[in-house]
């Protein structure tokens, strides 16, 4: 059986599930990613609280991130492609593309 988180927004999910759904979260827990939240006062406080209250779980996460870095990297790349596709689809220039049958998209 795979390790499940016992805290946070992905409580009761396996590390494999989190790596596929939200790889940034694992990297944030591991401390190897910095984002706007982790730089905020609340983000720093939350990370410190987790480090104290869930030290054993975070040790498992750190080991997982080290051992599965390629899987996490793949998850990040897949998520980036989805975001890029959404941005492209909502691009203002899209309204000028025409349908192959002469209708506007």
Give the pLDDT confidence of 73-83 residue by residue, as tens digits. 888 888 888 88
pLDDT attached to residue 71: 86
Cα–Cα distance measured from residue 100 to residue 105, given in angstroms and rounded to the nearest whole number = 9
Prediction pTM value: 0.69
**14-49 confidence digits (pLDDT tens):** 999 999 889 888 888 888 776 677 778 888 888 888
Kindly tell me if the per-residue pLDDT of 99 is higher than 70.
Answer: no
pLDDT in tens, 49-71: 888 999 999 999 999 999 998 88
The span from the CA of 76 to the CA of 91, in Å, is: 22
Residue 86 has pLDDT above 60, yes or no: yes
- The whole-number pLDDT of residue 94 equals 53
Residues in Cβ contact with 76 at an 8 Å cutoff, skipping those fewer than 6 apart: 23, 24
DSSP three-state, residue 14: strand
């Amino acid at each position: 059986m795979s390790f499940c988180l016992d805290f946070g927004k992905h409580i009761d999910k396996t590390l494999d599930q989190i790596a596929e759904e939200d790889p940034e979260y694992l990297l944030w827990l591991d401390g190897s990613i910095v984002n706007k939240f982790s730089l905020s006062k609340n983000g720093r406080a939350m990370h410190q609280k987790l480090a104290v209250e869930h030290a054993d779980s975070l040790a498992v996460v750190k080991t997982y991130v080290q051992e599965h870095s390629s899987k996490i990297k793949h998850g990040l790349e897949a998520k980036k492609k989805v975001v890029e596709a959404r941005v492209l689809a909502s691009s203002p220039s899209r309204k000028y593309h025409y349908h192959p049958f002469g209708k506007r998209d």
